[in-house]
Structure 1
Amino acid sequence: MHSHATGADAGSPFKQPRAVFAVAFACVVSFMGIGLVDPILPAISSELHASPSQVTMLFTSYLVVTAVAMLITGWVSSRIGAKKTLIVGLALIVVFAFLAGTSDSISGIVDFRAGWGVGNALFIATSLAVIIASATGGFAGAIILYEAALGLGIAVGPLLGGVLGSISWRGPFFGVAGLMAIALLATVFLVKPLPLPERKTGLLEPVKALRHRGLLTMSLAALCYNWAFFTMLGYAPFPMHLGAIQLGWVFTGWGVLVAVFAVFGAPRIQGRLGIARTLYLNLFVFALIIAGIGLWTDHQAALIALVIAAGIPIGINNTVTTAAVMSVAPVERPVASAAYGFVRFIGGGLAPYAAGKLVEHYNIHVPFYIGSVALLVGIAILSTGHGLLAQAEQAQAAPAVTSATEAEELEVGSAS
Structure 2
Amino acid sequence: MTHQPVATSDKLDAAVLKVAGVVVLGAIMSILDVTVVSVALPTFQSEFDASYARVAWTMTGYTLALATVIPLSGWAADRFGTKRLYMVALALFTIGSALCATADTIGQLIGYRVLQGLGGGMLMPLGMTIMTRAAGPNRIGRLMAVLGIPMLLGPIGGPILGGWLIDVASWHWIFLINLPIGAVALVYAQLALPKDNPQPSESFDFLGMLMLSPGLALFLYGVSTLPETGTFADPEVWVPVLIGAALVVGFVLYSFKPRHPLLDLRLFTNRNLTVATVALFVFIIAFMGAGMLFPSYFLQIRGESTLAAGLLIAPQGIGAMLTMPVAGMLADRVPVGRTVPFALALIALGFFTFTQIDPHTSYWLLCGSLFVMGLGMGGTMMPIMTSALKTLHADQVARGSTLVNIIQQIGGSVGAAVMSVILTNELNDARPIPGVTDPHGNPVTEAGLAIAAAQQPQLTQQFPVDQSLIERGLDFAASSFATTFWVGFALVLATFIPIAFLPRRREPSRLHGDQPAEQMKAPLGIH
- TM tier relative to shorter chain: 0.7 to 0.9
Question: In 2, distance between residues paired with 1:7 and 1:380?
Answer: 36
1:251/1:177 CA distance change after superposition, 3 Å: farther
**Separation (CA, whole Å) in 2 of partners of 1:28 and 1:395:** 32
Q: Rate the CA distance shift 1:195–1:347 in 2: closer, same or farther, 3 A.
A: same
> 2:75, 2:399 within 8 Å by CA — same for their partners in 1?
no
AA aligned opposite 2:311:
W
Q: Choose between structure 1 and 2 for higher RCO, CA contacts under 8 A separated by at least 6 residues.
A: 1
Q: Which amino acid aligns with 2:187?
A: L
Identity of aligned residues (%): 18
Corresponding residue for residue 323 of structure 2? 261
2: CA distance, partners of 1:269 / 1:74: 25
Task: Answer yes or no: is 1:239 the counterpart of 2:297.
Answer: yes
Unpaired runs of at least 5, structure 2: 205-259, 428-479, 517-527
What is residue 412 of structure 1 aligned with on the other side?
none
2:488 to 366, 371, 384: 371
117-126 or 17-26: bigger deviation: 17-26
Closer/same/farther in 2, CA of residues 324 and 19 from structure 1, 3 Å limit: closer
Aligned residue type for 1:405: D
Instruction: Choose 280-289 or 128-137, whichever is displaced more.
Output: 128-137
Q: Which runs of 5+ in 1 are unaligned?
A: 408-416
What amino acid does structure 1 have at the position aligned with 2:512? S
CA pair 211-43 structure 1, distance change in 2 beyond 3 A: farther
| Structure-2 change in CA distance of 1:351 and 1:148 (3 Å) | closer
Give the superposition deviation at 1:143. 2.6
Q: Could you tell which deviates more after superposition, 8-17 or 353-362? A: 8-17
Residue in structure 2 matching 1:341, options 381, 405, 410: 405
- Helix, strand or coil at the partner of 1:131: helix
Q: 1:150, 1:245 → 2: CA distance? A: 20
Judged with a 3 Å threshold, the aligned counterparts in structure 2 of structure 1 residues 54 and 243 are, in CA distance, closer, same or farther, namely: farther
Q: Does the CA contact (< 8 Å) of 2:142 and 2:331 recur in 1?
A: no
- 1:176 maps to a residue whose letter is N
1:143 is matched with which residue?
A: 144
Matched, 1:174 2:176: yes
Question: Structure 1 residue aligned with 2:498, among 381, 384, 408?
Answer: 381
Q: From the superposition, tell whether residues 315 and 276 of structure 1 become closer, same or farther in structure 2 (CA, over 3 Å).
A: same
Q: Where is the helix percentage greater, Structure 1 or Structure 2? A: 1
Which residue in the other structure is 2:504 paired with? 390
Amino acid at match of 1:206: D
Query: Do structure 1's residue 320 and structure 2's residue 321 form an aligned pair?
Result: no
Q: How far off its partner does 1:124 sit?
A: 0.8
Does structure 1 residue 250 correspond to structure 2 residue 321? no
Q: AA paired with 1:164?
A: L
Aligned-partner residue type, residue 140 of structure 2: F
Matched length: 394
Residue identity matched to 1:215: L
Letter in 2 for 1:382: I
Displacement of 1:351 after TM fit?
1.8
Aligned pair partner of 1:311 in 370, 374, 399: 374
Mapped to 2, the partners of 1:120 and 1:49 lie a distance apart of 28
Aligned position for 1:413: none
Q: Which has the larger radius of gyration?
A: 2
Q: Name 1:405's counterpart in structure 2.
A: 514
Question: AA paired with 2:497?
Answer: A
Q: Deviations over 1:36-63 (max 9, x none)?
A: 3455466557767888887776655544
Using the alignment, how far apart are the partners of 2:70 and 2:324 within structure 1?
23
State the Cα RMSD in Å: 3.7
Residue 122 of structure 1 deviates from its aligned partner by: 1.0
> 2:195 aligns to what?
193
Q: Give the letter for the 1:374 counterpart.
A: L
Match of 1:229 in 2: 287
User: 1:325–1:367: structure 2 CA closer, same or farther, 3 Å change rule?
Assistant: same
In 2, are the aligned partners of 1:70 and 1:122 still within 8 Å (CA)?
Answer: yes
CA distance in 2, matches of 1:45, 1:304: 31
**What residue in structure 2 maps to residue 220 of structure 1?**
278
How high is the TM-score relative to the length of structure 1? 0.79
Offset at residue 227 of structure 1 (A)? 0.9
Partner AA of 1:394 in structure 2: E
Are the counterparts in 2 of residues 161 and 172 from structure 1 also a CA contact under 8 Å? yes
C-alpha deviation, 1:404, in angstroms: 5.2
1:241-274 per-residue CA deviation (whole Å, 9 max, x = no partner) reads 22232233234433232233211245359967x4
Quickly say closer, same or farther: Cα 1:97–1:152, change in 2 above 3 A: same
